[in-house]
Amino acid sequence: MIRRLYSLGFTLAFLLALPYFLIQALRHRKYLSSLSERLGILPRKIGRGPAGGIWIHAVSVGEVLSALPMIKQIERRWPGRPLFLSTTSRTGQELAGRNRQGLAGVFYFPLDWKFAVRRSLDQVRPGLVLILETEIWPNFLHECRQRGIPVCLANGRISDRSFRKYRRFHRWLSWAVSLFDCCCMQDPVDRERIIFLGAPPDKVEVCGNLKYDIEPPRQLQSRLAQFRSLMQLSATSFLVVAGSTRSNEEVPVLHAFRSLQRECPQARLLLAPRHPGRCAEVEQLLTSQSFRFVKRSELSDMVIPDDGRPPPEVILLDTLGELPVLYALADLVFVGGSLIPWGGHNLLEPALFKKAVLFGPNMNNFREMARHFIQAEAGIMVQNEVELGERFVELFRDGAARRRLGSNGYAIIQANQGAGARILDRIAKCLPSG
């Protein structure tokens, strides 16, 4: 009965959201190209190999980045099993597509209707499904249980905001959460929360955060040389990277950057909105505030300006997949989604390159990570744009402090690696032999 009510509610919610999807499809060509896969109609080449593979689901860019090191570990541990990677977002799909080497298929996760789920499972024929972070799709979980396919939650995390939402319906959710065969959670708080939502305690373990298993991007040095040239970075340039910024966050970042420019005229800002689709909005903002800027997509190896004009103050990153490399060029990093009530973003990508990291007070999605960085003096929390500007200036003046923050952040990564291996040890107990 609960599952039927859920399916009805899911369908009604989809119908209510349908006008939005149609508008996005017509304006931005979103969703149309992926609709067939979301309905379970996958490319024919998927599933032509042996059955019993491992299906990994990573919602978007952050989850895909977390999955990539673990995929390499799975390949080494179970070399004969085909690996499949699904995503929900377009940006996640594009990143997965660029890193598909060794994968038997990359596709969109089905909408949680029985017919779509069954089509996908019929074609992929997995021996185990690994869902990253915390995605609870009741019909998918139920169908896997009916077929005897173990489903493991890996790198499980339940943010404060999600928990407030889930706890209202935890009696309805408990039957679905109980269908996970194992739950590998990031920290003890996440363990308590998933148990509250209905996971049997003996199926829940704390395995750490996969994001700490981060690896440097491929061909790093050659790509860094390319970007230095494209962005006209000189030996005296001071580059601030503001990564994964959200709506209403670019204004305070730009005001803080103006404060830095008064102290350091050679300062440059790389501004990377979380979603490239917002770049038109950010362009208008940069124009209204009279910044000299250029979009990353307008930079070309074949056209390096040499007309005597000063380089742009701001580079607007309107491309996908390049931010992790560009963090390596930064002198100072601000991680967005944190000055506004969003929940923050991953601090580890800049810390991997020993960069000094700043972030705002809203880090609920990365609460343990933010706490580690503050306690270890590896990052600085700022409360508002005034404080952000003051920290920009202070850290520009104090290179030793920047190096100390960066080294401490890198030490955190080294001390917390190994979640991937622990997760694989746990799912090995669920994986059918063969």
More confident residue, 381 or 168: 381
Q: What is the mean pLDDT of the chain?
A: 91
Question: Where are any strands of DSSP class E within 133-226?
Answer: 151-156, 182-185, 204-206
Q: Which residues contact 55 (CB under 8 A, 6 or more apart)?
A: 84, 86, 124, 126, 128, 129, 130
432 or 290, which is more confident: 290
Give the DSSP letter string of 1-29: -HHHHHHHHHHHHHHHHHHHHHHHHHHH-
Higher pLDDT, 414 or 25: 414
Residue 8 confidence class, pLDDT cut points 50, 70, 90? confident
pLDDT average, residue stretch 124-139: 94
Given this model, what pLDDT does residue 303 score?
47
What's residue 102's pLDDT? Answer: 85
At 434, the pLDDT band (50, 70, 90 cuts) reads: low
Cα–Cα distances in Å, from 312 out to 289, 296, 303, 316?
14, 11, 15, 10
pLDDT at 165 over 70: yes
Tens of pLDDT, residue by residue over 347-358, are: 999 999 999 999
Distance, CA of 416 to chain centre: 18
Q: Confidence band (pLDDT; 50, 70, 90) for 1? A: low
Flag whether pLDDT at 302 surpasses 50: no
Most confident listed range (167-171, 195-199, 211-215): 195-199
> What pLDDT, on a 0 to 100 scale, did the predictor assign at position 47?
84
Structure tokens at 256: 């803080």
Domains, the chain, in order of start with CATH, read 37-208+418-428 (3.40.50.11720), 220-415 (3.40.50.2000)
Q: What is the pLDDT of residue 369?
A: 93
pLDDT, position 20: 62
Q: Are 156 and 194 in contact, with CB atoms under 8 Å apart?
A: yes
**pTM of the full predicted structure?**
0.83
Number of C-alpha atoms within 13 angstroms, CB side, residue 119? 19
Question: Nearest CA to 239 among 334, 175, 167?
Answer: 334
- Of 130, 116, 118, 123, whose CA–CA distance to 45 is shortest? 123
> pLDDT digits over 98-118, tens only?
888 889 999 999 999 999 999
Query: What average pLDDT score do residues 188-209 get?
Result: 95
Q: pLDDT class for 17, splitting at 50, 70, 90?
A: low
Res 13: pLDDT:
72
DSSP annotation of 300 reads: B
139 has pLDDT over 90: yes
What's the pLDDT at 130?
Answer: 97
**N-terminal to C-terminal alpha carbon distance within the chain:** 36
Is 70 exceeded by the pLDDT of residue 374?
yes
- At 23 the pLDDT is 66
> Does residue 305 carry a pLDDT above 80?
no
**Would you give the distance in Å from CA 135 to the centre of its chain?**
14
- Range scoring the smallest mean pLDDT among 2-16, 57-71, 181-195: 2-16
The backbone region for 131, taken as left when phi is positive above 0, alpha when psi lies in -120 to 50, beta otherwise, is beta
Residue 157 identity (one-letter amino acid): R
- For the record, the structure tokens of 358 come out as 């700043």
CA atoms within 13 A on the CB side of 332: 28
pLDDT band, residue 368 (cuts 50/70/90)? confident
Q: What is the pLDDT of residues 212-266, one digit of tens each?
A: 999 888 888 888 999 999 998 988 999 999 999 999 999 999 999 999 999 999 9
Q: What is the mean pLDDT of residues 206-212?
A: 94
